Structure 1
Amino acid sequence: MILTEEIKRIKSTEKEARKFGIQVGLVFMIITLILFISDKGNSHYFFIVGGVLIILGQLFPQLLIIPNKLWMSLGVVLGYFSSRIILFVLFYFILTPIGIAAKIFGKNFLEKKINIEKKSYWNIRNNHYNKSQTEKQF
């Protein structure tokens, strides 16, 4: 299965664990700041968790290897399912109605119908070739 292979490829080194501890700890500190400024309760819990993560990230990153692996695995699983849900919604709720409407109004985007009376399917362009069009294409 593709999902298990992707989870196996997650880097679980001390360097990655250190980055994980510092980044997630800083996010918890930002949440603490927001809760403190908005005068909401329980901001001290976020402060403690953020501080512990930052300290562990700096001093003992090997302790954060497993939480980092679990966190990244959760991200892989969520990404796997959310991408399929987004593509499902895009296809069935956006592209399918466009296709049905085009069929109702007789629009043929690809012009695939065979016309026996036509001698050629070549589309003639009316604009003339200019050398400067190919010099700087991008």
Structure 2
Amino acid sequence: MHQSSRDLRKFGVTVGLAFLVLGAVSRWRGHELPPRVLWTLAMLLLVPGLVAPALLGPVQRAWMAAAEVMASFNTRLILGLLFYVVFTPVGLVMRIFRDPMTRSMRDTKRSHWIRRKLEPVDRARYEQQF
């Protein structure tokens, strides 16, 4: 996929500035080596991003490939946790303590039909279903 020079410039400047900020925060916290590495990465993205954005094509493709892998992993992790931490316990509690469809056959009724109250037929009700 071919990226326009505008998109590549935007990528270089955005990610470069992010690395600059991360380096500044790391320096502010008292680290010595990590800020230098982050600032070097920032310059390696900012300078080509401003001068020759086409050079960032392979970098941007690799960056996006890594982002897709991380996004795929995070999606599965978050949805898996949501399922097993939220939906499964709620489902178990509902199955044990509640019968939302009133399916219990504990009584001796011949039918479990629930009668609706009779209302006058209104044509507008059929035209607006939801």
Q: State the TM-score bracket (shorter-chain normalisation).
A: 0.7 to 0.9
Could you tell me which runs of 5 or more consecutive residues in structure 2 were left unpaired when the two chains were aligned: 119-130
Check if 1:108 corresponds to 2:99: yes
Could you tell me which runs of 5 or more consecutive residues in structure 1 were left unpaired when the two chains were aligned: 1-9, 125-138
Which TM-score applies when normalising by structure 1? 0.68
Q: Deviations over 1:80-109 (max 9, x none)?
A: 22212211221122211111112111x133
> Which structure's CA Rg is the greater one?
2
Distance change >3 Å, CA 92–CA 36, structure 1 → 2: closer
Distance change >3 Å, CA 123–CA 58, structure 1 → 2: farther
> 1:77 Cα deviation (Å)?
2.0
Between the two proteins, the alignment pairs up a number of residues equal to 112
Distance change >3 Å, CA 37–CA 88, structure 1 → 2: closer
Which TM-score applies when normalising by structure 2? 0.72
Check if 1:62 corresponds to 2:54: yes
Tell me the residue number matched to 1:14: 5
Distance change >3 Å, CA 56–CA 101, structure 1 → 2: same
Check if 1:47 corresponds to 2:39: yes
Q: Percent identity?
A: 25
> 1:15 Cα deviation (Å)?
1.8
Tell me the residue number matched to 1:89: 81
